[in-house]
Amino acid sequence: MINVALLGFGRIGQMHAQNINKNKSLKLLYVYEKIEKLGKKASKLYNCNIEKNYKKIFSNKNVDIIFISSPTNTHINFIEEGIKYKKTIFCEKPLDLNIHKISKTFKKVKKNKSKIQLGFNRRYDPGHHSIKEDLDKNKIGRLEKIIITSRDPAPPTKAYLKSSGGIFRDMMIHDFDLCRYYLKNDEISEISSSASSFEPFYKKIKDHELATVTMKSRKGVICVITNSRHCSFGYDQRVELFGKKGMLLSGNQKKNATEIFNSNQSHSQKPFLNFFIERYKDAYNLQLSELISLHNKRIKPRSTFEDGYLALKIANAAYKSLIQKRVIKLK
């Protein structure tokens, strides 16, 4: 049995706790949670130990895997503690909002050959991964364009949005990573972004509810990403890979093709799945299975610390493009 400590029991942490509890290879030994109400909930549901001093968790030799689902500003500190005590680590995205902190920690990760898996769950989605395999098998020839659409059914809480780092670092970072996943040995070389807000709240916190980014890779592949914090017809997440010899599509999970999109009407028997936890249920479980393999063996995870670092660099460039109203070149 592999013992797990979960750091953070908020919305995403509760989903991870449920998946850990269902997995026969894992035991949820500790939950680190500062909010007493959430700690009591975790203890009641999973009969686990609640610890408010995270250092005791890291120094405990019985803890094998550290699962980081706490606020973003805690991630790097927890990762460094995990490196120190040679723990297997899972960390939710983004790694941090400070690229310089990540860069310093990255050196330690490489030096210690730390076992770290990053929470880019979309790489593990069966549909998104299937078109990646078909792309690698040259089924559409040379890749020329990537189009990704991501729309959430409703925005997160206002409290979350205030500290999220904004739409590029919090939401679109998944899509930046997915582009890199399909580009394989290619990297993004330039980026241009635009964004808009209709609700006054977003302007108050200097964030946006809609954004579009156009990027070009070193080999000339065009990438177009569109994000929205709200979508009346459910969780809308689609990927299109266009190549010289054809096109690959990974779409929404629904029973039938939908042609009319509004809150009242569609041709589908059921609307799109209404939350990312439902939409990516299989992906989260496959990611967890890989984490177990990472702990037991020294495999390279599908989503690495370096992937998190490079995705944030793209997100930062998107913000720079928005502010300066120009195309940003990436090194």
Question: pLDDT per position in the chain (331 positions), as tens?
Answer: 999 999 999 989 999 999 999 999 999 999 999 999 999 999 999 999 999 999 999 999 999 999 999 999 999 999 999 999 999 999 999 999 999 999 999 999 999 999 999 999 999 999 999 999 999 999 999 999 999 999 998 898 898 898 899 999 999 999 999 999 999 999 999 999 999 999 999 999 999 999 999 999 999 999 999 999 999 888 889 999 999 999 999 987 654 333 333 445 444 445 555 567 778 899 999 999 999 999 998 789 999 999 999 999 999 999 999 999 999 999 8
* Residues of each domain in the chain carrying CATH 3.30.360.10: 125-279+311-329
DSSP string, 54-76: HHHHHH-TT--EEEE-S-GGGHH
Q: Read off φ and ψ for residue 214, nearest 5 degrees.
A: -115, 130
Under 8 Å between Cβ of 95 and 118:
yes
Top CATH class, 125-279+311-329: alpha beta
Q: Read off φ and ψ for residue 218, nearest 5 degrees.
A: -60, -30
Residue 145: helix, strand or coil by DSSP? strand
2-114 fold: Rossmann fold (3.40.50)
* Residues of each domain in the chain carrying CATH 3.40.50.720: 2-114
Strands ordered across the beta sheet of 210-217 = 246-250, 236-243, 143-151, 222-228, 210-217, 188-196, 328-329
